[in-house]
């Protein structure tokens, strides 16, 4: 049980770190760009989408690896055990869409709940960051 808590904590911490690094680098890059600010914001939006996709793939890879070992729990339902199914499941969990065609069993359920919470916080963080950048630099014409 303690091992599962440690793994879950590390996965969430690494996902938050990935997001932090993306936003930090975007924040540093935007002021130095010699393009209109509206295009800088678009750059920020695309980088946020790339960051979220990287985080989702990270969770998906974690599900794939944990699913290989029965003691961590497993994914079931309309699930074939592939990495792509794990990433698909991660997309629906991270965005809190939750189609329900794939479901977690065992200890894996705790990580799924944490991914939903993490996705909600990171998506909100991206929205706040982009709003701040728009307010700070938006053309006032």
Which residues are CB-neighbours of 78 under 8 A, at least 6 positions away? 101, 102
Mean pLDDT by 10 residues, the chain (141 residues): 92 98 95 88 95 98 95 96 98 95 96 98 97 78 46
Task: Give the containing element (helix H, strand E) for 102.
Answer: strand 102-105
- For residue 35, what is the DSSP state? S
pLDDT of res. 141: 46
74: left (phi over 0), alpha (psi -120 to 50) or beta: beta
Positive or negative, the Cα torsion across 43, 49, 53, 56? Answer: positive
The residue ranges of every structural domain in the chain are 7-137
pLDDT of res. 133: 86
pLDDT of res. 38: 83
Q: How far is CA 59 from CA 40, 115, 121, in A?
A: 29, 8, 15
Residues 37 and 139 sit within 8 Å (Cβ to Cβ): yes
pLDDT of res. 110: 96
CA distance 50 to 62: 18
CATH number belonging to domain 7-137: 1.10.287.70
User: Residue 123: how many CB atoms within 10 A of its CB?
Assistant: 17
């Amino acid at each position: 049980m303690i091992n599962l808590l440690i793994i879950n904590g590390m996965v969430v911490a690494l996902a938050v770190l990935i997001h932090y690094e993306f936003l930090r680098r975007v924040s540093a890059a935007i002021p130095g760009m010699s393009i209109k600010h509206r295009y800088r914001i678009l750059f920020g939006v695309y980088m946020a989408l790339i960051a979220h996709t990287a985080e989702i793939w990270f969770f998906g890879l974690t599900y794939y690896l944990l699913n290989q070992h029965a003691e961590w729990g497993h994914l079931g339902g309309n699930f074939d055990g592939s990495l792509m199914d794990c990433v698909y499941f991660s997309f629906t969990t991270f965005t809190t869409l939750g189609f329900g065609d794939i479901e977690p069993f065992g200890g894996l359920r705790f990580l799924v709940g944490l991914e939903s919470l993490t996705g909600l916080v990171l998506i909100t963080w991206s929205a706040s960051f982009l709003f701040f950048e728009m307010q700070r630099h938006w053309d006032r014409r």
